[in-house]
A and B are shown apart, each in its own frame.
Chain A
């Protein structure tokens, strides 16, 4: 909300406060200052000047060299680009050294070679509303040399963010009342006070409340014989200052009262109404055209004001209609001041996407106590500015009781109006001083706390800690609300900082965090970049570089219904919770290869999501690690001009780095996956931990990635469990081992696992390790048949208790080789 300092000063004495002090005061009252605009000038260096001559500048289509008389005894040359003035006009001239709104300092300069010693100003350059395009032409009777600040009003506009719990601050009076309460500065006369004693009558048949659950209190004031026309200057200026456009005196006054007292009003043209008013729910599908000319289809959740004709004249609390508003020809009006249920207004406003200054206030909560005040104040101003005669305010219904049922019978009740009274029950809150002492560790004296509450308008009802809350404070309901007020006003700065820490136990989440960090540092050390991709990805996308479900490679294959989609995505690209980290990592790889990256090594750790039971089961969140590896092993350099390409074995090696002590087995998966050319299940120490894949070649081509791109996704908790399992350090062997190499020729498609399994079957107790040393094949078939390969293994034998003799090693080795030959019929030793 915009607040004008001048307007505010009409209600509270703010003399002696600088802009910054004012901003600090608001800030520490809990009101966020989002912007400050200075209007007008405070310097003496902007003066009335008369244009004496005006010569076009050669080579420019709009610049003129002007000689102006600024009352300095000699003429001053100023180059000016405006076109709306003539020789003899009086205009504001900013002299060198003047600082204009926005901190713009005027300096002497040259334009197209002509000296310019100042600037002729438009109104907007002086921070005032622009009344004409171009220079501000001043009246001829203004004296040359007079500083313009002597006849223009300066103002400061604060753009304030009011928190949703404080709707009472959404007006100038409300703001003044708050500042007075906080600072103790004196408050001037309450412009709404006339509402307490305003003449009222029961509305009788004229107001029918058909939806009292939304609108229990509605008042209407007939004012006849008004003369609709422009608002008086003071009123128009206040509205302009806070960013509103004046329309006509009656409409402006309803707006003015909204920003003065905080209660929305609406004026109908009485001539356009037929008979009594009915405040009812809209019919399903009822159509309504707003005064902005937009048409809306209503539902029975929406409240409308209608008349005997049955048509909706306005959407209650939100916006008036096109056909019932006040125009230049209006002479009689009906002024509405009513109270609407906040949730109803919020609901309608949001559904229709229609909001107004009125709905903004109603949906945050208005006080029924303000209904008569606003009606009486607006009536007073209309009579003052537009003439006419007003009838007593017609009151339909009664103020809702907003205090809890149990305390209503004993609540203090305020009374407003004459012949139709409105009653307002005050909230009573019991303040527990002990709570204050605990919360502030006794640092706020009770007397001081009581003074703060009194200044804010609360009343100590019985001296026993029961406080009556003022009628404008809808947010004070409980003891903690009062404590908040005391701490807020007393100032947290005045409460000493303390510390009462306790001992805590490490949790599983602590350990998970530590493991994740250790793992991340390990991968970073191995040359992998950690990335953080978006958890919301596309269900599908035509753009292959957008992360989408089809590239998912979760630890277990996806089933129908596993995918979790948000109901109302902002965009299709971010519509689905990622079931795997692969789509994000592939998108990252594609992005980076497009930027010329040769080494593609990325990892991410984080949550992936899936539903069990085809979308009807539980939503499962799993922490996984995704590692993608492709491209060159290293960036090319003079020292390594042709770095090798990443192969299967490189990502496989990374798994060994992650859990060096564990046994990792990759077994080709039974179920193929569309996103992968090759898939293997990863077992670590016999436990299923994730998948190892080679990305589908079609995907690689689509994304511009190297055809050899590898990806692994592993369950982070299982990795953690294995990697952090307790263990004992083994002793070093006491006796030397002895190794034997053996090369064997096997069919090209025979797997390493088959050979290792056969070696294991030998159950040779002396064999401590068997390591693949080399694979040899020759596609030409010259050195070895094309459908065969030679695999060389190194076998290490050792006895823990003695040094083995060559004969013992040979015997053991022979037993292993014999088993191999027996188990694998097509194996020949070389």
Chain B
């Protein structure tokens, strides 16, 4: 009996080791451990084993079954591993990918959002106004006299109704102050229009972002601190920023702001980036006159405006502004 068990076990283990597929493995399991399997048959000889030998033989039988089962399992694991390896063999990981439709945002949206995000961190809130404006909000309120060069059909798009397409987002300054009492701390991204022929540096419709902060004692230092922070956030904390005195009808004093930027392989250059200034008291007086409230006279504040196309062109070295309105997918794909 003991010899029989040993021989079945040895035979089974040897057979299992030689099996090469799952089917063979299953057949072996049935023919060894199944109802009529070789080990099961030997087991039936237990009846004739003397009582005192039974524990020893029984233990041997159990051990044989365990050994064979383990061999089957090990073989199964090995075979599965071989199959798995074969299943993925031959995959060329150097192949290119399939091409999926890819989308992305327009560069003007990207710079606009970046500017908005920075300015919101600084406590500015968004405000809005219509593209189709009246002369009062576009010019009169902003201290731009009737004989100002911009106020004519050659430079500004007018409608037969007498309304016009706003020439600057500064209109929102007037619109916001009409509606709310100071303090005001707003920005307004939006379109502006000028009757310029379209060329590499001009569009007759373009995008700006306007900012306004009005309170009881806003100072030139606040203007400087705010715009320096904003521009450094936009162009990098090491960026040099300078304020050049300039003239705008709705601010006094007025400044143009340059940032010093360096293109690869070139000397750093001052690049004009924005206009700003302290709100002209005449603007406050105009607002109060229209609302009939004395809310703004005596306030101080600053305003600024930045061209978004210009910002995008500087940021990405875009040479021709028309690329921004042509919407060629090959151009747009660069900003994904």
Q: Which residues of A contact B (CB under 8 A)?
A: 27-30, 32, 163-166, 342-343, 346-347, 350, 438-441, 443, 478-481, 483-484, 487-488, 492-493, 495-507, 509-510, 512-513, 517, 520-521, 523-536, 564-570, 574, 577, 588, 591-592, 595, 597, 599, 601-602, 607, 609, 619, 621, 633-640
Contacts and interface: CB of A to CB of B under 8 A. Distances in A.
Contacts of B254: 484
Contact of B95 (A533, A634, A638): A638
Contacts of A443: 221
The 7 closest A-B pairs by CB, nearest first: A30-B245, A527-B101, A163-B247, A639-B98, A497-B225, A498-B221, A524-B103
Contacts of A599: 101
Interface of B: 95-106, 108-109, 113, 116, 120, 122-128, 130-132, 146-149, 152-154, 157-161, 163, 165, 183, 185, 188-189, 191, 193, 195-198, 204-205, 215, 217-222, 224-226, 228-229, 242-247, 252-256, 278, 280-282, 300, 324-330, 332-333, 336
A440 B103 contact: no
A727 B95 CA distance: 46
Given A483-B252, A525-B103, A501 B123 contact: yes
B281 A524 contact: no
Contact of B157 (A27, A350, A568, A640): A568
A478 B252 CA distance: 11
B329 A595 contact: yes
A434 B222 CA distance: 17
B108 A532 contact: yes
A530 B95 CA distance: 30
Contact of B326 (A478, A577, A591): A591
Contacts of A30: 244-247
B123 A609 contact: no
Contact of A530 (B104, B188, B197, B245): B104
B221 A496 contact: yes
Contacts of B104: 524, 529-530
B204 A165 contact: no
A799 B218 CA distance: 65
7 contacts: A438-B217, A441-B220, A513-B126, A524-B105, A526-B103, A536-B193, A568-B157
A816 to B, nearest CB: 39
A365 to B, nearest CB: 10
Given A524-B103, A621-B132, A27 B191 contact: no
A343 B147 CA distance: 6
Contact of A529 (B103, B122, B161, B219): B103
A536 B205 contact: yes
Given A28-B245, A634-B101, 12 more contacts: A164-B148, A438-B217, A439-B300, A480-B252, A484-B252, A492-B243, A530-B109, A536-B193, A591-B328, A592-B327, A597-B329, A619-B161
A500 B102 contact: no
Contacts of A506: 125
Contacts of A507: 125-127
A512 to B, nearest CB: 8
Which among A438, A478, A530 has the highest number of chain B CB atoms within 10 Å? A530
A609 B131 contact: yes
Contacts of B160: 567
A534 B207 CA distance: 11
A721 B172 CA distance: 24
Given A439-B220, A492-B220, A531 B96 contact: no
A599 B104 CA distance: 14
Contacts of B147: 342-343, 346-347
B113 A535 contact: no
Contacts of A481: 252
Given A480-B280, A481-B252, A531 B99 contact: no
Contacts of A510: 120, 125-126
B97 A639 contact: yes
Contacts of A520: 105, 109
Contacts of B222: 498-500
A483 B327 contact: no
A499 B327 contact: no
A441 B101 contact: no
A513 B112 CA distance: 10
B246 A495 contact: no
B245 A527 contact: no
B225 A499 contact: yes
B131 A535 contact: yes
A601 B103 contact: yes
Contacts of B98: 634, 637-640
A607 B221 contact: no
B109 A636 contact: no
Nearest to B336: A524
Contacts of B158: 566-568
Contact of B329 (A483, A493, A529): A529
B187 to A, nearest CB: 9
Nearest to B333: A529
Contacts of A438: 217, 219, 300
A568 B123 contact: no
Given A535-B191, A592-B328, A640-B98, A498 B225 contact: yes
Contact of A488 (B189, B253, B300, B336): B253
A441 B221 contact: yes
B4 to A, nearest CB: 54
Given A504-B185, A523-B103, A609-B131, A497 B281 contact: no
A528 B153 contact: no
Contact of B132 (A28, A536, A619, A640): A619
A591 B163 contact: no
A247 B255 CA distance: 40
A480 B183 contact: no
Nearest to B247: A163
Contacts of A499: 222, 225-226, 229
A638 B229 CA distance: 50
B324 to A, nearest CB: 7
A521 B324 CA distance: 19
Nearest to A565: B159
A357 to B, nearest CB: 17
A588 B204 CA distance: 19
Contacts of B122: 501
B125 A621 contact: no
A536 B127 contact: no
A707 to B, nearest CB: 19
Contact of A498 (B101, B131, B157, B219): B219
Given A503-B123, A509-B128, A510-B126, A528 B103 contact: yes
Nearest to B120: A510
